[in-house]
Amino acid sequence: MSSAMPKMGVRMTPEEAENFVDQLAAKVLRRWDERVSQGDFMKRLVEGTLPLSAIRLFFRNWGNFTVEINTLVAASYHKHIGFFKRHSDLLAPFGAKIADEFLHPRPPGHILVMMQTAKALGLTEDEVLRQPMLPGTRAILDFKRALLWEGTVAEWWFSMLTEEPIGHWARAWFKALTTHYGFTRDQAIYFSTHEEADLKEHDEGIMGHGSFNRLVMRRILEDGYADAREGYSLEYCAFASVDLYGLMHRAAYEESL
């Protein structure tokens, strides 16, 4: 069943909003498969033929990215507080989502498991947190930052449709590292942690991040709040995010050749 296209000021019914978000999420998953999973980097990683040097280079940049993207998610709580005041039932799960990133397993949060995997790759804290990122790996971060500070509520949240495919991506990483590269489960913990956080209810009732994002998107559409600037659309924000994650992989792959 197809749903109506969202328009600013026109409220969708809950069914229309759910249909639109579900259909766009399915397109994002397919695009992720085309632009990320079927790219040379991920295909060789899954096969176990990607050099460890390429994996180290990617994760050095990815680790830096994770620290900064989590601060943007936290900042969105402040930037979009007007929307969440209208939907006060979302304040608790949104607070839990942010706390999950910064408090699990203990402060400062997921940065700890990220560094645990980084150290297993032979990377130092200085390399991950303080070295410049490759321009191609930074592009997704700068796009997200621009959407948050210059864009609309809808633009930012529809760009977050990528969090669900990242959960599946993390599962592929965990399997590859533990199957082909000799990593223990503890050494690959960053990826198992993110598969769980993005796709499943976890830690005594914290909603999977992908499910929470879909809920927010549906409320945006039900509010008639689907505002997007000229040259942008909700689909564009979602697809461009996928493509820039693909660029991140290609940049690391090409630099490592």
Residues of the domain holding 106: 14-256
The confidence score (pLDDT) of residue 206 equals 62
Separation CA 72–CA 146 (nearest Å):
10
Assess if residue 52 is contained within a domain: yes
In a domain, 53, yes or no: yes
Position 132 in a domain: yes
Is residue 161 included in any domain, yes or no? yes
- 8 assigned to some structural domain: no
What global pTM score does this model have?
0.93
Q: Is residue 189 part of a domain?
A: yes
Distances (CA, A) of 162 to 7, 48, 136, 200, 237: 22, 25, 18, 15, 10
Q: Based on the structure, what is the number of domains in the chain?
A: 1
Angle at CA 103, nearest 5°, toward 98 and 109?
A: 95
In which residue ranges of the chain is pLDDT below 70?
1-4, 197-207
- Tell me, yes or no, whether 3 lies in a domain: no
d(CA 6, CA 222) in angstroms, rounded, equals: 9
Q: What is the pLDDT of residue 197?
A: 62
Q: Ramachandran region of residue 227, left (φ > 0), alpha (ψ -120 to 50) or beta?
A: beta
User: What is the model's pLDDT at position 240?
Assistant: 98
Residue 80 sits in a domain whose CATH number is 1.20.910.10
Residue 9 lies in a domain: no
